[in-house]
Amino acid sequence: MLEWLQTQWQNRKKRIAARNLLLHARRVLNYRRGQLFVDQEKTLSAHVEVLKKNWRNLPTACVEEIHEHLIAVGGDVYPVRRWTDTIEAFLMAIIVAVGFRAFFAQTFTIPTNSMLPSYYGMTAKLDGDRSQGFLGNLIRGITYYAPKTQKGGRVLIPLNGRAEAARDHSLIAFERMGKRSAFLIPRQIRRYRLLVNDEPVYIDVPAEFDLESTLMERFCPKISSKRIADAIDKFPLVRRNGRVFLDTGVDVAPNSPVIAFDLQHGDVLFVERLSRHFRQPKRGDAVVFATWQVPALRNDDRYYIKRLVGVPGDVLSIRNGKLLRDGNPANDSPAMGKNNAKQEPYGGYFPYGALNGKNVTVPDGHFYVMGDNSANSYDSRFFGPIPQVSVAGRPLWVFFPRRGGNSFQ
């Protein structure tokens, strides 16, 4: 029995070797056809035919003869150089991936909640839900944060000065820095440093996530706007080591979390890029565009997603929470219609920026874009119309994370 198994194993190895030899012989014939002498090409063609018909039962001597002939005429194609082929395959895979991403489709992660409730950005929930377990939270894209204090005491929130607040677009001080994940992948983070008495407590969140509303919900729950600007006049300010802090009035026990929350990953969209080469998006479409092609956003090397609300020649305005085009409600999509009707969970349109009591005419070659969550959206009201060429594509579907009944929707 053992001898029979060994024989079967040896026969199988021979068949695999002959099959691989056929693949390499075809490759040499295709790649070096114009470089071979006539007799070399005829001999190689004959070997290919023999391998095609008899590769299952080819004698070992015949396999070795064909192998020696391939060495003689193979040039750079045969014998196979493992590292060369690996590098070539790797580079080809990169070229294919880059080409597919540039012309057909790519993934896009939504960092903010400017398109709520149509699309979700990173969303925090105090205390969190640990009932789903590690695998359940991984599928839902949830990370749990619970930084602890050793000594305990009064929680202080550091504030930015006027210049830092203008630079960071935030009154709460934080530091942008690089960090490596568990898989040694570099990523950008925001590091918030709270002070518990004199003990610093660090909270590292993704660079795109603004922790302000979560901190306000935890330490200043009576401030309905969840903005620290509305809390400064209602809470005492203290100075420590040349920096101003907001005294929250909240005391934390020793060896306990200062704040605990779940952070759910923003929607990861599959964005289709092909159709933009043949047609322009229509009013009401959600569009993904490159910020570096927008004059006011040239230093922001990212993609944004917004809803297209105006095309060249449109005159836009906001009156009583409604977005108007040429004086009539702009109901070009279900989301826009629900916003104009203030139908929950849509909150209507807010007259911020350029649309604060004024009319805006969309110039030629540009689009006007706004977020569905216009109360918390940085859009054309602030950075102006976007060039039509900046549009990268349109979102097709959300494939991560899975948002179920226990999600933050």
One DSSP character per residue, 50-86 reads: HHHHHTTS--HHHHHHHHHHHHHH-TTTSS--HHHHH
Does residue 85 register a pLDDT over 80?
Answer: no
Classified as helix, coil or strand, 16 is: helix
Domain boundaries, the chain: 2-73, 105-110+267-400, 123-264
Q: Which residue has the tokens 């920096």?
A: 243
Cα–chain center distance at 244: 35
Please name every residue paired with 304 in a beta bridge, in sequence order, or none if there are none: 289
Using alpha carbons only, give the angle 346, 352, 356 rounded to the nearest 5 degrees: 120
Residue ranges in 330-370 assigned as alpha helix (H):
334-340
CA proximity to 195, closest of 278, 251, 125: 251
Amino acid at 51: L
Q: 105 — phi, psi (to 5°)?
A: -160, 160
Q: Which two tokens stand for residue 72?
A: 């003689």
* The pLDDT value given to residue 21: 80
Q: How far apart are CA 389 and CA 381, in angstroms?
A: 19
Is pTM beyond 0.75? Reply is no
Within 10 Å of residue 209's Cβ, how many Cβ atoms?
18
Q: Which residues pair with 268 in a beta bridge?
A: 109, 400
| Helical packing angle, 38-54 and 2-31, nearest 10° | 150
Residue 203: pLDDT over 60: yes
Q: For residues 256 and 150, what is the distance between their CA atoms, to the nearest angstrom?
A: 7
Element at 43 (helix H, strand E): helix 38-54
- pLDDT grade for 183, boundaries at 50, 70 and 90: low
The pLDDT of 156-165, averaged and rounded, is 91
Least confident of 84-93, 130-139, 212-221: 84-93
Span 213-228, average pLDDT: 89
Task: Give every CB contact of residue 167 below 8 A, 6+ residues apart in sequence.
Answer: none
The two structure tokens encoding residue 178: 């690089």
Tell me if the domain spanning 105-110+267-400 has CATH number 3.30.70.260.
Answer: no
Question: Looking at 7-11, 57-61, 80-84, 331-335, which range is the least confident one?
Answer: 80-84
Instruction: Tell whether the model's pLDDT for residue 236 goes beyond 50.
Output: yes
Weakest-pLDDT range from 123-132, 138-147, 235-244: 123-132
pLDDT higher at 408 or 377: 377
Do residues 301 and 291 touch, judged by C-beta distance below 8 A? Answer: yes
What are the Cα distances from residue 40, in Å, to 25, 32, 37, 380? 12, 11, 5, 69
> How far apart are the C-alpha atoms of 374 and 367, rounded to whole Å?
17
